[in-house]
Structure 1
Amino acid sequence: MLAAALIAWILIRKRSSSTETETDTATSSAATESGYRRISEADHQIPRRYLDDNAMKVVYRLEDAGHEGYLVGGCIRDLLRGLKPKDFDIATSAHPEEAVELFRRGRLIGRRFKLLHVRFGREVIEVATFRASHDQDEVSRDQARTAETGMILRDNVYGTIEEDALRRDFTVNALYYDVKDHSILDFAGGYDDLKNNRLRMIGDANARYREDPVRMLRAARFAAKLGFDIESETANPIRELAPLMRNVSPARLFDEVLKLLQSGHGEASYRQLQRFGLFQYLFPLADQALESDEFPVETLIVNALCNTDRRLAQGKSVTPAFLFAALLWYPLQQRIRELEPTSDLPPLPLLHEAANQVLGDQVRCTAIPRRFSTPVREIWELQLRLPRRQGKRADQLMEHPRFRAAYDLLLLRENSGEDLGGLSQWWTDYQVANPVNRREMMPSDLDDKPKRKRRRRPRKRPANDQSQSQGE
């Protein structure tokens, strides 16, 4: 039974870790009869002012209605690490249908994993009911469903906080903040793992990855974001089980890609994805292009991710369109090369055809919403137009809504080793030059001079034209 195995695993872990952290346990926490540790506010030292006001309102509302409510997961982990949480999640004993009745601006989402979203302006507080193990006789097929591979298809089996802790993925994510006395409840040794920079799966890693293959991506992401070492028992099964990523929906993988590569630690996440053989299931065309010696593929990928990390550190905005345009730029060039021998299309239509094929292949792995795929095409198209700078073309290109993103990609291409004849430097200088200097910077290619306008011959008026007399 999965629940019994998890409980046995927790007890073994606690016995083995008790000798390592005996002093810390005696001074910073109190063991309870239920087998968890309670870390007091004086010991964990999370300032109350760092707690989200709206999340606290939700917890207090749940408790006033007679339910249990705790801040849980990543927000507690990040606060203990001195980081600012991106969002605050809540775990409660209230079933979704019970909890939604308590909030005027709450709504239920999801079928596989039913959740309550409570909206406060733009902020959304996510509320999840305590989950329990699937191996219970009274559980109906509508509440829980598992595929032959072990992947959980539906997960609406409710239980206690202890059962909920055992169902979570990593120990550092199984920390619950009790608002009644502002203590932290630790059910799986996550507090010590956090202090020791260790990422460890709760239960048997092989089985947990089969339940939800996305946990392999989460392991890579947390290791990159937090700088943690992944415990060997947690890391060893990943490369072997990586093909299970094919069973995850492309829409869900798109969300995971953004978390991995657009959260300020993209370059480190890429290294972890390559370490475990996961990158090929997110960007198969880019992974195949890495084998080519014709283009500086990996250099461009790393430079694009470092550029994204730097912009986020500076508080600047980023867009998935630029990320996908950069990661798929050389796969696009390879596809154009494949189409050229059998196609008589001009360069721009040829690029459009190649773009359709590359994006079509990509969305089978990670879905790209149209609001991002359209800008990707425009960024690629501008790479063909940026070399054409004669006349008014340069000024017209600068007015294009995707010019800045296209210019950034041009910079990255040249900085990655692609020979563009100094084109990116020309555009850098042109943007800061005054109108007089801009005219002097214009290339003087004879082949691209503006054509002389042909004088139109005046139309001869027909002899029987009575247009003048009709209005008189």
Structure 2
Amino acid sequence: MLIRYTTDKKGRPQKQAEVYQAKEHNINRSYIDKDAITVIEKLNRRGFQAYIVGGAVRDLMSKREPKDFDIVTDALPEDVKKIFRNSRIIGRRFKLVHIYFGAKIFEVATFRSLESTNNHNDYGGIEEDVLRRDFSINALYYSPSENQVIDYIGGVKDLRNKRLRSIIDLDTTFHEDPVRIIRGIKYSNISKLKIPFKLRMQMKKDVHLLNDVSISRLTEEVFKILLSGKSMIIMNDFIKYGLFSYLFPEINDPIIGKNRKEFKKQFFRDLDKLDKKLYRGVEKSKALALSYLLDAYLTGLGTFSTKNIVMKDFVHNIKTSLKPLIAPNVDVESAARILLKRKNIKINGKRRYSKNGGRPSFNKFKKIRKLDK
């Protein structure tokens, strides 16, 4: 392992970062998207620093093939835009660049300073950028050209010791971005990381801050979890940490509330089925995920015991069940069809299945309209 040094105010050498070579990080380069490497190499040729950062590096070091590749650089957004014709700048206050390769999008961000916030541009160096990240396991920088992982904050040791550690002070981090609570629980389950006691307690204490997060961000995170192949264990932790009621207030009490043991069991059985399907390589689909998320709940309402299903009302029922989350109409409609097919129901046709689809049922709840008025 190499050590990167800087100098302090008195000119004395000071350790800055640990640099892991190929034999030490054991990253499989075949897992790295070639277009991501093309972006970085092109920035390097223009004299700019550029690295793969965050979750992609974490996954690569854990022997998993990343789904997305985020890139950071010291080039300003305007510089990146000039280099890549297939790009556009997004964001008004904090600007990012999206570079397009067909259906693929690579997000390129400029190093942030310690004064930077989500509300304005304030750029800095890599040494500051690392301190703006959420957890140490997401603060690793990979250079494809040198085949090195640069670690300023001890993230490699935390990853190998299976520990989730917040870089930002616990009193501050979730106030800055409450979504870090969701992500922390997700990371701990996907990468099998232990959450230290103080971090766990802070998550539970600050969970109410999720009320201030935009619905679009919450929806995005929920779909990532449903399609992660680990939805059952992550949702179980959401209940333990008190997150579930903030994300799914409509289905929280009917499924998770007291005296609902059978439905809780069925809810987790459905998520387990979804995870296994994804593990077997079934095409990832938001519609499929929604169908398994809501199956037990809608069954309990007696939705599938009606003689006739009006598609328009059924779609509305699914949307109501998801509130406050908002799923795309096309996915909700597809989920409705998947559910009806699974229950062997024809739209506006006769039932061809056993009553209640073989599931137990519970009374109708006030917030959900009965379909067969």
Contact 2:318 2:332 in 1 (8 A): no
How far apart are the structure 2 equivalents of 1:236 and 1:38?
Answer: 33
Deviation larger for 97-106 or 328-337: 328-337
Tell me the equivalent position of 1:359: 319
CA deviations 1:219-251 (Å, max 9, x no partner) are: 011011111101223222111111111111111
Q: Measure the CA separation in 1 of the matches of 2:346 and 2:320.
A: 27
Tell me by how many angstroms 1:281 deviates. Answer: 1.2
**Matched letter for residue 324 of structure 1:** L
| Paired residue type of 1:55 | A
The question of 1:242 aligning with 2:242 is answered: no
Question: 2:97, 2:331 → 1: CA distance?
Answer: 28
CA contact (8 A) 1:311 1:318 kept: no
Please tell me the residue identity of whatever aligns with 2:244: F
> Is the partner of 1:46 in helix, strand or coil?
coil
Which one of the candidate residues 246, 249, 270 is aligned to 2:235? 270
Q: Is the Cα–Cα contact under 8 Å of residues 261 and 269 in structure 1 kept in the other structure? A: no
| Higher Cα radius of gyration | 1
Asked if residue 90 in structure 1 is aligned to residue 71 in structure 2, the reply is yes
Residue in 2 aligned with 1:32?
Answer: 5
User: Which residue, 281, 284, 289 being the options, matches 1:315?
Assistant: 281
> Which residue of 135, 157, 169 corresponds with 1:170?
135
Matched residue SS, 1:328: helix
Supply the AA of the counterpart residue of 1:285: E
> Is 1:192 the counterpart of 2:157 in the alignment?
yes
Residue 126 of structure 1 aligns with which residue? 107
- For residues 220 and 264 of structure 1, what CA distance do their matches in structure 2 show? 14
TM-score, length-normalised on structure 1?
A: 0.67
Paired residues of 1:300 and 1:327 also in contact (CA < 8 A)? no
The answer to whether 1:220 aligns with 2:185 is yes
Contact 1:336 1:351 in 2 (8 A): no
Matches within 5 A, 1:66-145: 66-111=47-92, 113-134=94-115, 144=117
CA contact (8 A) 2:164 2:193 kept: yes
Q: Does 1:372 align with 2:337?
A: no
CA distance in structure 2 between the aligned counterparts of 1:79 and 1:372, rounded to whole angstroms: 31
Letter in 1 for 2:221: E
Instruction: List gaps (5 residues or longer) in structure 1.
Output: 1-27, 136-143, 145-151, 338-345, 398-406, 420-472
Q: Could you tell me whether the CA contact under 8 Å between 1:295 and 1:418 is conserved in 2?
A: no
Q: 1:300 aligns with which of 266, 281, 287?
A: 266
Q: Distance in 2 between matches of 1:180 and 1:326?
A: 43
Change (3 A) 1:191 1:381: closer
Q: Which amino acid aligns with 1:32?
A: Y
Counterpart secondary structure, 1:237? helix
Q: SS state of the match for residue 199, structure 1?
A: coil
* Distance change in 2, residues 1:159/1:380 (3 Å): same
Q: What SS does structure 2 have at the residue aligned with 1:286? A: helix
For residues 43-69 of structure 1, what are the alpha-carbon distances to aligned partners after superposition, in whole Å with 9 as ceiling and x for unaligned? 222243433211111111111112111
TM-score, normalised on structure 2? 0.83
For the residues of structure 1 that align with 2:291 and 2:52, how far apart are their CA atoms?
38
CA distance in structure 2 between the aligned counterparts of 1:385 and 1:180, rounded to whole angstroms: 55
Cα deviation 1:101-155 (Å, max 9, x = unaligned): 11121122234642211122222222111111227xxxxxxxx5xxxxxxx5x25
Q: CA RMSD in A?
A: 3.2
Q: Is 1:418 matched up with 2:367? A: no
Matched, 1:233 2:198: yes
In the TM superposition, residue 331 of structure 1 has moved relative to its aligned partner by: 4.4
Match of 2:369 in 1: none
| Amino acid paired to 2:322 | Q
Does the 8 Å CA contact 2:93/2:121 hold for their aligned counterparts?
yes
Post-superposition offset of 1:39: 1.6
CA separation of 1:245 and 1:252: change in aligned 2, threshold 3 A: same
In structure 2, the gaps of 5 or more residues are 7-14, 362-373
Cα gap change, 1:29 to 1:301, in 2 (>3 Å): farther
- For residues 114 and 304 of structure 1, the distance between their equivalents in structure 2, rounded to whole angstroms, comes to 40
Residues 1:278 and 1:413: Cα distance change in structure 2 (over 3 Å) = farther
Q: Provide the residue aligned with 1:43 in structure 2.
A: 24
Task: Please report how far the alpha carbon of residue 319 of structure 1 lies from its aligned counterpart in structure 2 after TM superposition.
Answer: 2.5
Give the partner amino acid of 1:30.
I
Q: Is the 8 A contact 2:300 2:360 kept in 1?
A: no
Match of 1:324 among 277, 287, 290: 290
Residue of structure 1 aligned with 2:123, choices 144, 158, 181: 158
Cα distance change of structure 1 residues 318 and 129 upon mapping to structure 2, 3 Å threshold = same
Whole-Å Cα distance in 2 between the matches of residues 272 and 283 of structure 1? 14
Offset, 1:272: 1.9
**CA shift for structure 1 position 191:** 0.8
Q: Does 1:205 align with 2:175?
A: no
Q: CA deviation at 1:80?
A: 1.0
Structure 2 counterpart SS, 1:66: coil
Q: State whether residues 343 and 357 of structure 2, in contact with CA within 8 Å, keep that contact through their aligned partners in structure 1.
A: no
Output the CA distance in 1 between the equivalents of 2:216 and 2:36. 27
Corresponding residue to 1:62 among 21, 43, 48:
43
Change (3 A) 1:351 1:71: closer
User: 1:469 matched to which residue of 2?
Assistant: none
Residue of structure 2 in register with 1:19 after alignment: none
Distance 1:30 1:368 in 2: 47
Distance 1:301 1:64, change over 3 A: same
The DSSP-based 3-state class of the residue aligned with 2:168 is: coil
How many residue pairs match? The answer is 350
Q: SS in structure 2 opposite 1:99?
A: helix
Q: Distance in 2 between matches of 1:315 and 1:418?
A: 30
Which secondary structure state, in structure 2, belongs to the residue aligned with residue 128 of structure 1? strand
Single out whichever of 97-106 and 288-297 deviates more from structure 2: 288-297
Given that 1:332 and 1:354 are in contact with CA atoms closer than 8 Å, whether structure 2 keeps it comes out as: no
In 1, Cα distance between the equivalents of 2:68 and 2:180? Answer: 19
Q: In structure 2, what is the Cα distance between the partners aligned to 1:111 and 1:233?
A: 36
